[in-house]
Every structure is written in C-alpha cells, then in structure tokens.
Amino acid sequence: MEASKTVSTSTSTCTREVDQVTHVFHILDYSKHRGMGNNLNSYIRSQIFAVGGHDWAIRFYPDGYHKRYKDYISVYLVLLWQSNNVMASCDLRLVNQITGLSSSVHKTGPRIFSSHDSTAFAPDAPAFKRRNEIENSAYLRDDRLTIECIVTVIQKPQVTEARPFPKIDMPPSDMVEQVGRLLDEKEGFDVSFSVGGETVEAHRFVLAMRSPVFKAELYGAMREIRSTGQHITIEDMQPAVFRALIRFIYNDSLPPNDLGTEMIRLLLVAADRYAMERLKMVCQSILCEDLNTDTVATTLALADQHSCGKLKDACFEFIEISDAMDAVVATQGFQDLMVTCPSLVVEALEKRRKFRKA
C-alpha cells in the first residue's frame, strides 16, 4: 500500500525599499566663481542633504576637476562621512532657466558607494559638460546656474516570514457512502432476486455499474433468458452469500464481522461468477492470510478452479516452505485434491522438491 503524503506550498517575499531625494543646487553669480583653479580642492560644495539615512553633497568645480579638463565644468555627487556599501543611483541634471525643465547630463548606478574610497563619487568621469555649451545655452541666465541631483538609495533586501500558501483541503470521497445508503434506505428498488427461497431487492443500474454479468442479465442479451419481468431466480448460491455479494456491490467492502473461511470461499466463487475482480482479489487476500496445514489443499483447488493466480502461487509457496507436510498430506482436502486434480498435487510436490534441493 502506497504511503500517504502531504503536499503543501509556502511563500515568502523579497522587497527592497527605495528612498529618493531630489536636491536642487542653485549657483548664483556663476561668473564670479571662475578662476578658482582646476585641482582637487577647487570646488564649491552644496549643503549636506540626507537620503536613506546617509549624508550626501554635490561638488561643483567651475574650472574643471583637473587642468586637462579646463574647458569643462565638473560636478560630482559625493557620499560623506563613514558610510560604506551603500547601494544607490544618481541622476545629475541641468535646469533650463527659461522653461524650468531639467535635462539629464550624467546617470550613475545603481552601484555601491563607500565614503572611504573613490566609489564615494559619481559619476566616474571628471568631465561633466563643456563650459561653452553651458554658457551659450538656456542653462545659464542672469549669471545663474541650477544643478539638480536625484539620489535614490536602495535599502537592504527585506524578506517576509515564510507562510503557508492558501490551501483548501479536498474532502474525502463520499460516493461509496451515498451508494451504500441506497441499499440501507430500501427505496427505489426496481429488481428482485429469489435466492434459496428468500427475496433480495436492489437497483438495476447499481448492479449493472459494478458487474458486467449483471449488466448483461439486466440490460443485455441475457435479459429475456434470465428474468421474468423484474424478478430473477438465482440458483446454486446461498442467500447469505448473495446478500454479502450485493452489500459489497453497494459498499465496496465486506461486513466488519468475521465471515469465516467457508463464507469467503463461497464469496470468491460468486465474485468469479459475476466478474467482480476487486471482490475476487479481496477474497484471495483473506484466504492467503488464512493459509495453514488444514486449509492449503482446499484453497489450492479453489484457486485453480477459479483462475486465482496469486492465491494459487501463495498455496504452492506455503507447501514449499512448510515443515508440516505430513499434516498437509493427511488432510481431507489434500486427499480430495489427489482425486480431483492429481496434476496439482504433482506440481506442488515438484516445486517443494526443487525448493528443498536448493
């Protein structure tokens, strides 16, 4: 029997919060800041502003960051103080003094900023924009230049706690219970059977659904031969066996009480007669568990007669490994088997001989 298993799904979510600030740096009297020199310390710094819990500033080099860039102005975003491994991006823009709209000049990131090395600065290139492109444009009016810097800090990932995915348990099947209730409630019966002088009623469609033989008798070519109206006579079967057969048809199981070995044998014969393979296998399983020195010979004969291959093999195996073969041979069942089917006896003894020899 396959072990049951529980399959479930759980879920968690990873998100990264973003802090974004736009800092506008107005440089008035632009022309008066020229001539500061083009070296590392020749800059004007904006006021410090905070984004994502870290301090930032804009550095403006009116004569360029280096003498090689004397024809440019240089602009940097810089991460201040002891802030390390900050993931951020920035967009450095110039504002058109006529329209008030800004245009991007340099975009950086997302990348890691650390205040203690060169990664504190963005962009990487020292040249921001040629000076003549600024001075001969709408970016510079009334000696006023406006730099806009959009800084976006991407916070560390936040992962939610795992939680089970919504699940609605599938209810167990209750079809067998509902079909079994049809028999217990005794309503809507449309066929009856006479078995050993007793009457057993049932529903034609249920019997036909479960047994191809009943289907042929009730709906097929055998209908006119076997039935008179809706009443059918069952011969060569005990009423208790037929009732157990009908109950299995409705409930797919045998009664909870012990039916006894003889009743199970008769039920196996009935299951074979009505081509009910599941009932036939259930009976084989019960008889296999009941194998002993007294029953094995009779069960072997029954298994051979009704084409129960698994049960027949089980009987042979029991005989092969039995340490009480004398007791088996002494049973009436074995004596009857020697008369009715001596070839089975020969086969069983030959299997035992080969097993013992091995």
Both structure tokens of 3:
């072990």
pLDDT for residue 302:
94
* Element holding 349 (H helix, E strand): helix 342-357
pLDDT for residue 303:
93
pLDDT for residue 1:
45
DSSP string, 278-302: HHHHHHHHHHHHT--TTTHHHHHHH
pLDDT for residue 222:
60
Both structure tokens of 79:
């991460």
- Which residues neighbour 235 within 8 Å (Cβ) at sequence distance 6 or greater? none
What b/e string do you get for 37-63 counting C-beta neighbours within 10 Å, with b at 16 or more? ebeeebbeebeebebbebebbbbbbbb
pLDDT for residue 2:
52
CA distances from 256 to 72, 73, 148, 259, 305 (A): 97, 96, 86, 9, 28
Give the span between the Cα atoms of 258 and 306, in whole angstroms.
23
Note the Cα 118 to chain centre separation in Å.
50
pLDDT for residue 10:
84
* Amino acid found at 287: L
Give the span between the Cα atoms of 223 and 196, in whole angstroms.
21
- Which residues neighbour 181 within 8 Å (Cβ) at sequence distance 6 or greater? none
pLDDT for residue 347:
80
Give the span between the Cα atoms of 212 and 190, in whole angstroms.
18
Contact 145, 62 (CB under 8 A): no
Both structure tokens of 58:
């804009």
pLDDT for residue 126:
80
| E-only strand ranges, the chain | 10-11, 14-15, 18-27, 44-45, 49-51, 54-61, 72-79, 86-95, 102-113, 121-122, 129-130, 140-141, 144-154, 158-159, 163-164, 191-195, 198-202, 227-228, 231-234
Sort strands 49-51 and 140-141 into parallel, antiparallel or unpaired.
unpaired
pTM of the model: 0.57
Both structure tokens of 287:
């008889």
- pLDDT by residue for the chain (358 residues), tens only, comes to 455 566 778 888 888 899 999 999 999 999 999 888 888 888 999 999 999 999 999 999 999 988 888 899 999 999 999 899 999 999 999 999 999 999 999 999 899 999 999 999 999 888 789 999 999 999 999 999 999 999 999 998 888 888 887 888 888 888 889 998 999 999 999 999 999 999 999 999 999 999 999 999 998 866 554 444 568 999 999 999 999 999 999 999 998 888 899 999 999 999 999 999 999 999 999 999 999 999 999 999 999 999 999 999 999 888 888 877 888 888 888 888 888 888 888 887 777 777 666 5
Both structure tokens of 347:
């086969």
> Beta-carbon neighbour count of residue 167 at 10 Å?
9
Domains of the chain: 14-158 (2.60.210.10)
Reported as half-sphere exposure (CB side, CA atoms, 13 A), residue 118 has a value of 5
